[in-house]
Amino acid sequence: MTKSTRPLAIPSHIEGTRTDDILSESMLTPGSSSTGWANEDVTSTSLSGRGVGLKRLETEIPNEDDRPGISPSREDEADDERDRDDNELDRSGNERYRDNPGREVEDDLEMASYSLNSYTIEEERQVVRKFDRRLTMFLAFLYLLSFLDRSNIGNARIAGLVDDLNLSSGQYEWALTAFYITYICFEWMTLMYKILPAHIYIPICVFSWGVLASMQCLVTSFWQLVFLRALIGVSEAAFSPGVPFFLSFFYKREELAFRTGMILCAAPLATSFAGSLAWFIVWVSENGPIAPWRALFLYEGFPSIIVAFIAWSYIPDGPGKAKYLTPRERKVAKLRLKAGKPKHEIKKTRFDWGEVGRTLCDPKSYLTAFMFLSCNVAFSSLPVFLPTILHDMGYSKLTSQALSAPPYLFAFVVVLITASLSDRHRSRSFYLIILALISSATYLTIALTGYFHSHLPTSVHILIRYVCLYPAAAGFFSAITIIIAWTMDNKPAGEGKGTGMAILNVVGQCGPLIGTRLYPDTDGPWYIKGMMVCSLFMLLVAILAFSLRILLQRENRQALADAAGIASAVRGETALDCEEDAMLRTEERDGATDRLMGPGISKSPAAMEKTSRPRFVYII
């Protein structure tokens, strides 16, 4: 039977468009549908494969004088012609929807895809570049300050902290552990990014840890130090774990790994910077009015207090409130995040506690969390113990401070490269497994070199141990970045992302409880046990990443199979509908019935439910 095609009725609220840009010769056919196995709404790409040729909208209305073929003297004629075309479209559209109520749903979905894509690629790139320069770089600077204030106790140790406070090796380890105990207990504050305005919440966090970090210069006993370290853990737990979650308010999930890498690479940069800065502060303060370690805490903590006031007026609450974007760019920033989301996610305004529950019951959330725990064993231990390890190799205190910087500068570069490649190839597990295995192998090499040191010249085993610190640090810093991005990627809703990050950090930050106790003085100068433990935990990261890869591949294959089955069922139902409609129309012409039916485009409720159900594709 011959199927007639009618032009779509274009809603009047779509601005900046021309009917010849939207309509094409090939329109929707009765067999078309919005079936898809990804969690995406109907787009121009998906519709074009079903017989719909679409063109991208013009995003701006050109001036009348600039339109080709239209002179100012013919404005009235052009307007009259457009009005006649619009009236004709309205009449045909009204007939179309009166005869076929179900077709209006299809057209609404189609026009929604137009609205969500009414900007150019260059406009989107410009918005992303501004967020990279203004937002992500500023958050990276805040993260640098936070990591500097939490890890400079390692530099303070060899600058005289332990001697002046008469701390034993066990007491020093408890001072480190106190930070992570409160850090773990307050990981739930990641969800505060979803509840409180960021321009208020983040500056309060920064100001708090800046004051507390500076106050460490006043401590005179072990318990005062432990108390302040615990409070710093609270204020940093409110900020650091939720930063990748906050980035998801501004970036698409395929863009998150590189931006998360930009944030987290501030950690190795801060550690290298801390080594150089500590060397300078200790050198300047050796004959100063206060002890060098007190000057270290004061000078490195005070900048956070100043930056907190800048953050108050600089950080936006969301993409639509960034002051450094133009009104048009703010609109693009919001629309680009809606493209590809299910309709129920776009319209949702209330906090979805059901999504929180589903994330808590999802085993995949805990696989990434245990990866994070394993990585954190190495991540938390090396920055605070590296100056001591280097000092035990035979270097002076000042030389140890200086030599602790280069491995972290190398890690800084590797984090950016691997995060960029991971985003470009939309792959997480491959890079994570490789990085974890490299880090594990180099930790094992350091341990074996220490075990067989008596068979090697002193200069050789010192060189091997120091050189291996470079890939070891680069491996776990880069792995942490990809684990966090992977967790964010595979949660479709904002509440799921926040809950996933909370699980990741609550479980994962138990790693430092192990890592901060791996290098007691009694194991020096070789620290074989600590290096072996770090090697085993990084190997565990690779095993867990491979397991999650297999699980996600299986779920994606199952989703694809289900989608294919649903598409087949919908095509069958549509064919039956068309046949039934044809029979009814024949009866109508013979006068047997007065029912008016559509041309077969409407689908059964079951089919509509199947085709509209969002499907999520995991990044592997």
Q: Are 476 and 434 in contact (CB under 8 A)?
A: no
- 208 or 50, which is more confident: 208
Helix, strand, or coil (residue 278)? helix
pLDDT of the residue at 266: 84
- 249 or 253, which is more confident: 249
Band (pLDDT 50/70/90 cuts) for residue 39 is very low
Q: Which two tokens stand for residue 438?
A: 């490299």
Helix, strand, or coil (residue 132)? helix
Q: Are 564 and 400 in contact (CB under 8 A)?
A: no
Band (pLDDT 50/70/90 cuts) for residue 47 is very low
Percent of the chain past pLDDT 90, that is, above it, reads 35
pLDDT in tens, 401-437: 778 888 988 999 999 999 999 988 989 999 999 999 9
Domains in the chain, please, with CATH? 19-116 (no CATH), 121-556 (1.20.1250.20)
Q: From 354, 176, 146, 148, select the one nearest 241 (Cα to Cα).
A: 146
Q: What is the spatial distance between Cα 4 and Cα 10, in angstroms, rounded to a whole number? A: 19
Average pLDDT, stretch 260-285?
A: 82
pLDDT of the residue at 448: 94
pLDDT of the residue at 135: 94
pLDDT of the residue at 3: 43
Q: Which two tokens stand for residue 535?
A: 């090697």
pLDDT of the residue at 30: 35
Is residue 61's pLDDT more than 50? no
Is residue 76's pLDDT more than 60? no
Buried b (16+ CB within 10 A) or exposed e, 189-211: bbbbbbeeebeebbbebbbbbbb
Residues with Cβ within 8 Å of residue 566, at least 6 apart in sequence: 35, 610, 611
Average pLDDT, stretch 305-313?
A: 94
**Average per-residue pLDDT in the chain?**
76
Q: Are 331 and 226 in contact (CB under 8 A)?
A: no
Band (pLDDT 50/70/90 cuts) for residue 137 is very high
- 359 or 550, which is more confident: 550
Average pLDDT, stretch 96-100?
A: 47
- Which range has the top average pLDDT, 121-135, 480-494, 598-612? 121-135
pLDDT of the residue at 615: 60
pLDDT of the residue at 285: 84
Q: From 55, 67, 59, select the one nearest 122 (Cα to Cα).
A: 59
Q: What angle do CA 260, 413, 410 make, to 5 degrees?
A: 125
Torsion sign over Cα 459, 461, 463, 465? negative
**H runs (alpha helix) in 241-321:** 243-247, 256-264, 266-285, 292-314
pLDDT of the residue at 513: 87
pLDDT of the residue at 501: 81
Q: What is the spatial distance between Cα 547 and Cα 382, in angstroms, rounded to a whole number? A: 27
pLDDT of the residue at 410: 93
pLDDT in tens, 107-118: 444 444 444 457
Percent of the chain past pLDDT 70, that is, above it, reads 70
> With left for phi above 0 and alpha for psi between -120 and 50, is residue 16 left, alpha or beta?
left
Q: Which of 50-59, 257-266, 361-370, 441-450 has the lowest mean pLDDT?
A: 50-59
pLDDT of the residue at 104: 44
Q: From 447, 337, 326, 428, select the one nearest 389 (Cα to Cα).
A: 447
Q: Which two tokens stand for residue 428?
A: 């997480």
- 519 or 83, which is more confident: 519
Q: Are 420 and 301 in contact (CB under 8 A)?
A: no
Q: From 361, 590, 614, select the one nearest 492 (Cα to Cα).
A: 614
Q: Which two tokens stand for residue 207?
A: 């100001």
Query: For the residues of 20-60, what is the DSSP string, one character each?
Result: HHH--SS---TT-----SSS----HHHHHTTT----PPPSS
Q: Which of 1-5, 209-213, 226-230, 470-474 has the lowest mean pLDDT?
A: 1-5
Q: What is the spatial distance between Cα 351 and Cα 346, in angstroms, rounded to a whole number? A: 13
Q: Which two tokens stand for residue 369?
A: 């969390």
What CA–CA distances, in Å, run from 18 to 12, 328, 453? Answer: 11, 20, 77
Q: What is the spatial distance between Cα 308 and Cα 209, in angstroms, rounded to a whole number? A: 10
Q: From 466, 473, 296, select the one nearest 389 (Cα to Cα).
A: 466
Buried b (16+ CB within 10 A) or exposed e, 70-104: eeeeeeeeeeeeeeeeeeebeeebeebeeebeebb
For the chain, the residue count is 620
Q: From 16, 274, 28, 291, select the one nearest 152 (Cα to Cα).
A: 274
Q: What is the spatial distance between Cα 28 and Cα 8, in angstroms, rounded to a whole number? A: 9
Band (pLDDT 50/70/90 cuts) for residue 216 is very high
Q: What is the spatial distance between Cα 143 and Cα 146, in angstroms, rounded to a whole number? A: 5
Band (pLDDT 50/70/90 cuts) for residue 454 is confident
- 365 or 493, which is more confident: 365
Amino acid at 236: E
Residues with Cβ within 8 Å of residue 451, at least 6 apart in sequence: 526, 528
pLDDT of the residue at 117: 52
